[in-house]
Structure formats: structure tokens, C-alpha cells
Structure 1
Amino acid sequence: MSLNYSIYGIPVYWLLSLIPHSYGLSIIKNANNGYWENRNPRGLDTAAMYKKSVPAEIFGRFERAEGAHKNGMENMPLFIGAVILGNMANLDSSTLNTVVGSYLVLRVVYTALYIYVTKIKYSYARTGTWFASTSLLLYLIIKAGNKLAYQTGSS
């Protein structure tokens, strides 16, 4: 019997989702003489100010980093739900560890593709990576649902 590390994937996922935001903040500050607008960092006027004051390539990368961060936050409930359901259903540790570990690796790849890919034809690799990672979570939820339905039905 192997140890179950899947729950530890939750804080790891949160950190992975925060990294693109930190990176975006860092590159925009470096390109903007160390200035970061912290009073309204998500404001439209703030984005417009950055767009005017930094090179287009840097602003684009900043936007993509923020997009990767937001996507990570949007997908966090599905990830946490899948991990919790898998554990509630007492799925075997190797399944939980493999799915959670694979998902986290795919999220790293997804984030790198999101931030650094600028050509449309390569952007579909990001979409495919997102689809593959999300499919892993849905697999875990369905597997947990099947096991819980069987346990409930047999009592």
C-alpha cells in the first residue's frame, strides 16, 4: 500500500496558480521603472497605463501571465473537489497520486504555454493541455462517483 499524497496537491496547486501572477507583477514592474499600481491593480485604467508605458511584448506577456493566474483560480474548485471526492470515496492511493501528480505537471506545462506562446498555431497546444488536465479531474470525479454510488447502493 502506497502513501496518499493527493491532499498535498491542493497547496501545491494554489502556489502554481500564484506563480504567474507574481511573474507578471515582476516583469511589469521591471519594465515600468519599478512602479506597480497597487491601489487598483486590476483596474482598466491601470492596464491602459501599463499598455502605454511598457513595450508591447512585455505588456502581452504580463496579460498572458495574468490570464494563466486567473485560469488557475477558476479551475481551483474543480481540482479541490476532485481531490476531496477521490479521498471521500477511498480511491486507491496510486490512482489519486497519479492523477493529482499528472494534473499538476500538466498545469505547469499549461502555464508555460499560456505565458510564452504568441503564435496562434501553437496556442492550440495550450488548449489541448487544458483539456487533458481537466479530463483527468473529471475522470477522478466519475471514478469517485461510481465507487460512492456502489457503496451507497449496496448498504
Structure 2
Amino acid sequence: MASYLPNLARDNISLYTIPVAWVVAFMPRIYAISTYTSITKKDTKAISLQPRDFIKIAADDQALDNKMTQRIIRAEAATSNGFENLGLFAAAVAAGNAAGLDVSTLNGITIAYIVSRVVYNHIYIFNDLVPSQARTVTFLGGVGMCMALFVQAGNRMKRTLL
């Protein structure tokens, strides 16, 4: 019976992790909007008309307590951070693929990056439960994985050019 799951030691899935990283970056926004609408019982029309004003809309809404307002604000910040880091990740994945890095290395680092971003989002949103230093460590771990791909790609390219 054929398996539909990739063999991570043989099948390069690293390029597929780029759209996954986009979804992971966008998920805190979904959390923020669904939290806002479930607590306030308001529709998303105002948010849809001016999505960049969502933080102000949430901060001014008296139906939210301070704890939930802060979580919504942090969820929006987590989304922004995810999109700010997406280019670095995509470039690192492209560099690793262009250099012909080992498939298991590419898959391992890119999947670990995705996991680090999921953990980062959770820590960021629920910062009232988890120390902010954990967020910093998780963020730097994800950036470090990108840098590791760049360094390994550079080393591989240097060896092939010599």
C-alpha cells in the first residue's frame, strides 16, 4: 500500500514549507478576529472595511477586558512579525535548494522553523502566561535556523566552485 506521506529523508518538501509559513504567520490574525467577534458579538464589517484599524477598534471596545484586548493586540503583532520574517525564511529555503543541500537537512531545518513559529505565536499571544524571554529565545531560534541554511548553502556553493 502506497503512503501519501513524504519520506523526509528522500522527498524534498522544503519549498512547501514556505506557504505553510505564510499560513502560520496569518493564524494569529484569525485568532484575534475570532476572539473579538466571539466576545463582542459584533460582525467583522468594520474590520473588513479598515483592517489596519483593527487594533484601535479592539482597544476602544468596552466589551473586551484588558486581558483579552492585550491578547488581540499581541496576536496582531505576532502576525506582523511572521510576515516580516517570511522573506528571510523563503530566501534561506531558496538558497538551500539552489546550493543542493541534503534533503534531510532542508526538511529538518524548515520543519523545525515552522514548529518554532507556531510556538512563537503561542508564546506571544499568551504572554500573560509565559515569560517574554521564552518568546525571544524562540524567535532567535527561528532566525538561527534561517542563518544555518544560508551558511550551509554558502559552504556548499564554495566547495562546488573550487
Per the normalisation by structure 1, the TM-score is 0.90
Structure 2 segments unaligned to the other structure (5+ residues):
1-8
1:89 corresponds, among 77, 99, 106, to 99
Matched, 1:75 2:88: no
| Paired-residue identity, % | 34
CA distance in 1, matches of 2:101, 2:58: 48
- Distance in 2, Cα, partners of 1:150 & 1:49: 55
Q: Does 1:12 align with 2:25?
A: no
Structure 1 unpaired stretches of 5+: none
RMSD: 1.6
Shift, 1:49, TM fit: 3.6
- The 8 Å contact of residues 31 and 58 in structure 1, kept in 2 or not, is answered as no
Instruction: Evaluate the alpha carbon distance shift between residue 49 and residue 107 of structure 1 in structure 2; reply closer, same or farther with a 3 A threshold.
Output: closer
Please report how far the alpha carbon of residue 3 of structure 1 lies from its aligned counterpart in structure 2 after TM superposition.
Answer: 1.3
Measure the CA separation in 2 of the matches of 1:32 and 1:75.
Answer: 31
C-alpha distance after superposition, 1:107-138 (max 9, x if no partner): 1111100001226x811000001011110110
Partners of 1:12 and 1:49 in 2: how far apart?
29
Q: How does 1:1-155 map to 2 (within 5 A)?
A: 2-36=10-44, 37=46, 38-43=48-53, 46-53=54-61, 54-118=64-128, 122-152=131-161, 154=162
For residue 10 of structure 1, report the CA deviation from its aligned partner. 0.8
Call closer, same or farther: CA 1:34–1:95 in 2, change over 3 Å: same
Query: How many angstroms does 1:33 deviate by?
Result: 2.1
CA distance in 2, matches of 1:136, 1:49: 36
- Cα drift, residue 68 of structure 1: 0.7
- Length-normalised TM-score, structure 2: 0.86
